[in-house]
Amino acid sequence: MDQALTLPTITYEKQDIPIRYFSKEFKDGMRILDVWQRLDGWSGKERVDYKPDFIKAILEGSDIPKIMEYTLLGDDEEKKRILDGGHRTRAIHEFKEGEFPVKLQGNYYWWKLPDGTDRPDRENSTGRNKVLPNTWKNRFDNYSLTVTTYKDLTDEEARIKFNELNHCRPMNIPEVINSHSSMLVDYLRKEWHFISDEESIGYREVQDKFCLKKHELNNLNHMKVMTSTFSLIERDGKTDVFDYCQPGDALKYVRAKDDAGLNTQFSRSEFLVLWRKFTDAMTKYNQWFEEMKTLEDEGTDYEFVLSNHSEALTYWHYINTLPGPSVTDEKNAMIFEFSEKCHKYKKESKLLNKQLGGSMRGSTIVIGEIQEKLDSLESDVGEEVVKWLNTFTNNGAGKGNMTKRYKILKSILD
């Protein structure tokens, strides 16, 4: 006998809302974008026309796609949270705030002219900045947006719906991690909450300590790195400890539900125990890094610096396998010496290899002399330095290379 088919029932309402009311609620914080939303894909040099073209479409009366939003179950304020239409919503808000103009018939029309923006000298001049006439402002404000609002979704239901709606442009791996519904991802996001503020001390410290460039932070790549650091603590002592340090594997880690193997859908009590271990590890790593920054070779002026975030992950893991809350001065001095040798070899070998490449058709004597210098350099720094740097040439965060670097640190430091 067939069992009855049961599906969840979703309640929603559909409205046509004039822009003047829709945008006011967004400005007042009653219509919002969740922190796990995707990035602003309409920014950047390659997409400079996306927002103005969208505004122009509204002014022309074009039919634009509807906006999807939801209310969160248990939210007493009943804020509307946008699921699909975040780029459009931001464009409308930014245009009305005077952040960009729309080009119409050769002139650039602003909702309001920013301070210092030049004004036209003649009524009919072209290519100039002008304020959008009130008749067109009213036309823009009175344009009705079709808005569908799902009622009383849970956070998990909202993220599932968000991912369904955004299959039109597949999210990159860090965006998928950021939108995943789990305690782990939510706590990781809060741990580096300062990422949205480029002027904050925390933002600059993360750049140094995990070797993340500004564009990587803006593209949410820190979520991949954060996931990897957590996995190195949670899987410590297990055979798969280095399996989740690559972007695709970090995503696999946060989604894992295999009870017999990897399962990161922790209960609250399980997670809080692991989170305490992770925050202790973060404190230990931060303290170690700050101590390393105080060291300097007065003869060469070398100061400790990380080459890439794969190297940062390696040190993160090694430091947190050592006993005690801190690293000894002796161990730090040895790490500094090794790092300086790596820096020396990378800098000098690059120059020698360039010379070698330029002389391949020249005198064998010259080629031999350069090769001798390379051999001498390798002998000076040691084979472990060469092996270490070779692990970054291809897939530096891969399991094999992470394992090689850990073994190198163990051999020279323990």
pLDDT digit string (tens) for 307-359?
999 999 999 999 999 999 999 999 999 999 999 999 999 998 888 878 777 65
Mean pLDDT of 372-380: 89
Average pLDDT, the chain: 86
Q: What b/e string do you get for 58-94 counting C-beta neighbours within 10 Å, with b at 16 or more?
A: bbeeeeeeebbbbbbeeeeeebbbbbbbbbbbbbbbb
What are the structural domain ranges in the chain? Answer: 12-170, 201-413
Model confidence pLDDT, tens digit, residues 28-82: 999 998 877 755 556 655 556 788 999 999 999 999 989 999 999 999 999 999 9
* Cβ neighbour number for residue 306 with a 10 Å cutoff: 19
Closest to 228 in 3D by CA, of 131, 326, 316: 316
Q: What b/e string do you get for 171-206 counting C-beta neighbours within 10 Å, with b at 16 or more?
A: bbbbbbbbbbbbbbbebbbebbeebeeeeeeebeeb
Mean pLDDT of 196-205: 85
Question: Following DSSP, what letter does each residue of 167-210 receive, concatenated?
Answer: GGSPPPHHHHHHH--SHHHHHHHHHTGGGG-TTSHHHHHHHHHT
| pLDDT over threshold 70, residue 1 | no
| pLDDT over threshold 50, residue 168 | no
Structure confidence at residue 122 as a pLDDT band (50, 70, 90):
very low
Question: Following DSSP, what letter does each residue of 309-357 receive, concatenated?
Answer: HHHHHHHHHHHTTSSSSS--HHHHHHHHHHHHHHHHHHHHHHHHHHHHH
Distances (CA, A) of 12 to 15, 150, 393: 10, 4, 52
Distance in angstroms (rounded) separating the CA atoms of residues 176 and 165: 13
SS3 67: strand
How wide is the angle at C-alpha 282 spanned by C-alphas 277 and 285, nearest 5°? 125
Classify burial at 113, counting beta carbons within 10 Å of its beta carbon; exposed 0-12, middle 13-18, buried 19 or more. Answer: middle
Is residue 91 within 8 Å of residue 55, measured between CB atoms? yes
At 317 the pLDDT is 96
At 367 the pLDDT is 76
Amino acid 82 reads I
pTM of this prediction?
Answer: 0.65
| pLDDT over threshold 80, residue 361 | no
Structure-model confidence comparison of residues 116 and 409, the more confident one: 409
| pLDDT over threshold 90, residue 189 | no
Amino acid 191 reads E
Distance in angstroms (rounded) separating the CA atoms of residues 229 and 282: 9
- Which tokens hold the place of 35? 């922190």
Model confidence pLDDT, tens digit, residues 380-393: 999 999 999 999 98
Model confidence pLDDT, tens digit, residues 280-317: 999 999 999 999 999 988 888 899 999 999 999 999 99
Structure-model confidence comparison of residues 222 and 94, the more confident one: 94
Is residue 23 within 8 Å of residue 96, measured between CB atoms? yes
At 124 the pLDDT is 46
Closest to 148 in 3D by CA, of 84, 92, 91: 84
| Share of residues in the chain with pLDDT > 90 (%) | 50
| pLDDT over threshold 90, residue 191 | no
At 38 the pLDDT is 59
At 353 the pLDDT is 79
